[in-house]
Amino acid sequence: EADIYQTPRYLVIGTGKKITLECSQTMGHDKMYWYQQDPGMELHLIHYSYGVNSTEKGDLSSESTVSRIRTEHFPLTLESARPSHTSQYLCASSDGRLNQPQHFGDGTRLSIL
Amino acid sequence: RKEVEQDPGPFNVPEGATVAFNCTYSNSASQSFFWYRQDCRKEPKLLMSVYSSGNEDGRFTAQLNRASQYISLLIRDSKLSDSATYLCVVNVPSGTYKYIFGTGTRLKVLA
């Protein structure tokens, strides 16, 4: 069982609030990822990190930002939430070796009113 | 053209049936291949990695065809609990080292 945790699992919040979605892993993985997924739709990579102090934007443009100050922690922040940010956010990690898969957290389902 | 393509389905099959999904990839430098299962509103979970010689895990068999650039997943003796979306994932060890996801194939196993 993969040891990657996301909090909160569900968040319903009003427009304009600052939000931080937490993601932590205890596997010592260097590589971490954030995906956004709407119901019934495909996964879209929005951010990734190859290690401490390394972050890159993914394929889908996102107004969110990320930081990687510690290996195990990869939080995602929305400075001012809007209804268009309503979605499921999935965090994943991998150790980066050939043939090693990604492991996903349970996800955060975010609803902005 | 998408880097990883899957038939979205849905595939509706009766219990006990054998069903196969294909997934094609466009980058010939792709090195690692995986099948994930995703239930509705849940996170993707690794079903199996796909090895060059093909591999089996119980009722599930995965194959890789590098010449034609596709991977396949065969499910034998389908169970109701197999109903889910099956995601094909390809990894290209370039500088970015990202995992490329297919859109998924939806399977419904009917009683």
**Tens digits of residue pLDDT in A52-100:** 999 999 888 889 999 999 999 999 999 999 999 999 999 999 987 878 8
Read off the pLDDT of residues B48-72 as tens digits, 9 standing for 90 and up: 999 999 999 999 999 999 999 999 9
DSSP B77: S
What is the residue-wise DSSP string for A13-68?
E-TT--EEEEEEESS--SEEEEEEE-TTS--EEEEEEEETTEEEE-SS--S-EE--
The SS3 assignment for B85 reads: strand
Residues of B in contact with A98 (CB under 8 A): 31-32, 93
**Alpha carbon of B74: minimum distance to chain A alpha carbons (Å):** 20
Q: Does A89 touch chain B (CB under 8 A)?
A: no
Compare CB distances from A107 to B43, B99, B103 and report the shortest one's residue.
B43
- Cα separation, A32 vs B97, in Å, equals 11
Confidence tier at B97 by pLDDT (50, 70, 90): low
pLDDT at B2 over 90: no
Compare CB distances from A105 to B43, B93, B98 and report the shortest one's residue.
B43
Read off the pLDDT of residues A20-53 as tens digits, 9 standing for 90 and up: 999 999 999 999 999 999 988 999 999 999 999 9
Query: Which residue type occupies A55?
Result: T
